[in-house]
Amino acid sequence: MKSNWNYPTTVWMGEGRSTDLPDACLIAKIKNPLFVTDKDLVTLPMTIKTIDNLKKVFKEMNVFSKFSGNPFGKNINEGVEFYNKSKCDGVIAFGGGSALDVGKGIAFMCGQTRPLWDFEDIGDYWKKADESKISPIIAIPTTAGTGSETGRASAIVNEETGVKKIIFHPKFMPTIVILDPRLTVDLPARITAATGMDALAHNLEAFCALGFHPMADGIALEGMRLIKNSLPVAVKDGKNIKARSEMLAAASMGSTAFQKGLGAIHSLSHPVNAQFNVHHGLSNAIFMPYVLTFNKKEISERIVSICDYLGLEKSFDSFIQWIMDLRKEFNIPHKLSDVVDEEKIDLDKISKMAFEDPSTDGNPKKLTKEDMKTMYQHSISGELF
- 241 and 212 housed in the same domain: yes
User: Based on the domain organization, do 168 and 211 belong to the same domain?
Assistant: no
Examine residue 95 and state whether it is found in any structural domain, yes or no. Answer: yes
Question: Phi-psi region for residue 313, left (φ > 0), alpha (ψ -120 to 50) or beta?
Answer: beta
195 occurs within a structural domain: yes
pLDDT digits (tens, 9 = 90+) for 226-272: 999 999 999 999 999 999 999 999 999 999 999 999 999 999 999 99
Please state the domain count of the chain: 2
Domain assignment present for 127: yes
| Domain end (from 159, 183, 207) | 183
- Indicate if 91 and 197 belong to the same structural domain: no
**Residues ≥6 apart with Cβ < 8 Å to 268:** 283, 287, 290, 291, 354, 372, 375, 376, 379
State which residues form the domain around 297.
188-381
C-alpha to C-alpha distance for 70 and 47, rounded to whole angstroms: 20
380, amino acid identity: I
- pTM for the whole thing? 0.93
Rounded to an integer, what is the distance from CA 174 to the centroid of its chain? Answer: 14
* Same domain as 317, residue 232: yes
Assigned domain for 289 exists: yes
CA distance 306 to 316: 10
> Which residue, 163, 183, 203, sits at the end of a domain?
183
In the chain, how long is the greatest CA-to-CA distance? 60
**Residues 178 and 201 placed together within one structural domain of the fold:** no
Q: What is the 3-state secondary structure (H, E, C) of the chain?
A: CCCCCCCCCEEEECCCHHHHHHHHHHHCCCCCEEEECCCCHHHCHHHHHHHHHHHCCCCCCEEECCCCCCCEHHHHHHHHHHHHHCCCCEEEEEECHHHHHHHHHHHHHCCCCCCHHHHECCCCHHHHCCHHHCCCEEEEECCCCCCHHHCCEEEEEECCCCEEEEEECHHHCCCEEEECHHHHCCCCHHHHHHHHHHHHHHHHHHHHCCCCCHHHHHHHHHHHHHHHHHHHHHHHCCCCHHHHHHHHHHHHHHHHHCCCCCCHHHHHHHHHHHHHCCCHHHHHHHHHHHHHHHCHHHHHHHHHHHHHHHCCCCCHHHHHHHHHHHHHHCCCCCCHHHCCCHHHCCHHHHHHHHHCCHHHHHCCCCCCHHHHHHHHHHHHHCCCC
pLDDT per position as a tens digit, 370-384:
999 999 999 999 999
CB 227 within 8 A of CB 200: yes
Is there a domain that residue 334 lies in?
A: yes
Residue 3 lies in a domain: no
Pairing of strands 33-36, 90-95: parallel
Q: Which of 138, 162, 183 is the last residue before a domain boundary? A: 183
Q: Which residues of 68-81 are buried (b: 16+ CB within 10 A; e: fewer)?
A: bebbbbbbbebbbe
Residue 222 lies in a domain: yes
pLDDT along the chain (385 residues), means of 10: 76 94 96 96 94 92 92 96 97 96 97 95 92 96 95 92 91 93 96 97 97 95 98 98 97 95 97 94 98 98 98 98 98 97 96 96 97 98 96
Residue 5: inside a domain, yes or no? no
Whether 273 and 150 share a structural domain:
no
Residue 168's CATH number:
3.40.50.1970
290 and 274 in one domain?
yes
Residues 168 and 240 both lie in one domain: no
Both 236 and 373 in one domain: the answer is yes
CATH number, domain with residue 368: 1.20.1090.10
Statement to judge: residues 25 and 128 lie in one domain: yes
Does residue 217 sit in the same domain as residue 326? yes
Q: Are 107 and 91 in contact (CB under 8 A)?
A: yes
Q: Is-contact 205 270, C-beta < 8 A?
A: no
243 lies in the same domain as 169:
no
